[in-house]
Amino acid sequence: MAVRRIVKRLALISSAALLAPLSSPAFAETSAAAQFDTEQFDCRQLAEWDQPESPLEWFERSLWASHCHVFQARAVRIGIDGVRTLALSRDIQDGVEREVARFLDGPPVFFERRGRIGRMNWSSDDEGVPASPAGIARHIDQYYRLSLGSDERIANRGAMRLDIEPLDGMRFGQRLWLDSETALPLKRELIDDRGRVVETFQLTELQPPRLHEGGVVLDAYREPQQQSWYPAWLPEGFVDQPVDSDAERQDPAVGHRIYSDGLSTLSLFVEPIEEGQERLIPGLHRLGISLAVVRHVMADERPLQVVVMGELPPRVLVQVAENMAWREAAE
């Protein structure tokens, strides 16, 4: 079933869960058929920017740094499914970012993503700074409390701790340790709504990162594709985002929508249930560090399978799944 293949792919991505550089909504995936805007962000200007002072400035700088630095690293991921070690690499070719993760133990997994700086829906086309890092920083400041912790040492580098605490119980928090020199994330802890650390991802060895001497492509501003269905309820601050997925293009029957508050992300899938095809079991499922809620519903006299997935409290995923709505055919 198409949704099963897509959810399996997202579970793999969740298992890789590679700090801000790979998981940030500021990163827009691309494909060979993607059309780029000619506008670019010149990474060399980061060397001229003043040192961040406030927590929000550190957060925004970490996003820019994640787009503009080239490096190789080793890392360890500690989650409910055990401990895994990884080799990471990141480079920029012709303004397009390429990030690779390879698990060094357990089942062999190779994960690659190519993309550019996403603009997404909190950055309008006519803004003075139309790229996501600035827009994300403004947006999350409404839903999270950011504070600076003590200086520490991660991967033999000085680090500044950044605590990101949700202002409600609708999303998870994070603790980030940012490289004091570059603002690159060196460690991340994902903290659930009960205050428990559900995943730790930490670089153990980082070759000296190099600032890219050129530009990184900014994604063209895109409106999200409309579907015949939509969530009638979402936690405050979650905004509809464009979807650019190879899996979706290969399975046109699957409807896919993404919503993000700038830090947390919801993925929604709707697929017709065909007679004789295997179905996902309704209920709550764990996929790596993500959770997924599956429902079978009737809409327009057709049986449909709904999957809501994300690193969010289970009750939030359930409430989204139970409040799906369909537009009238005339619309």
pLDDT tens, residue by residue, 263-287: 999 999 999 988 877 788 999 998 7
pLDDT at 260 over 50: yes
Give the C-alpha separation, 126 to 84, whole Å. Answer: 43
Could you tell me the pLDDT band of residue 79, with boundaries at 50, 70 and 90? confident
CB 122 within 8 A of CB 262: yes
DSSP conformational letter for 218: B
Could you tell me the pLDDT band of residue 29, with boundaries at 50, 70 and 90? low
How large is the average pLDDT for residues 47-67? Answer: 94
Determine the 3-state secondary structure of 73 from DSSP: strand
pLDDT at 330 over 60: no
Give the whole-number percent of the chain exceeding pLDDT 90.
56
pLDDT at 250 over 90: no
Give the C-alpha separation, 42 to 67, whole Å. Answer: 11
33-60 as b/e: b if 16+ CB within 10 A:
ebeeeeeebebeebeeeeebeebbbbbb
Q: What is the pTM (predicted TM-score) of this model?
A: 0.84
* Range in 45-49, 124-128, 271-275 the model is least confident about: 124-128
In this prediction, residue 244 carries a pLDDT of 63
Could you tell me the pLDDT band of residue 130, with boundaries at 50, 70 and 90? very low
In this prediction, residue 252 carries a pLDDT of 61
Give the C-alpha separation, 197 to 190, whole Å. Answer: 6
75-91 as b/e: b if 16+ CB within 10 A:
bbbebeeeebebebebe
Q: Pick from 51, 45, 52: which is nearest to 131 by CA?
A: 45
Give the C-alpha separation, 290 to 229, whole Å. Answer: 23
**Which of 8-22, 125-139, 182-196 has the highest mean predicted lDDT (pLDDT)?**
182-196
Summary mean pLDDT of the chain: 83
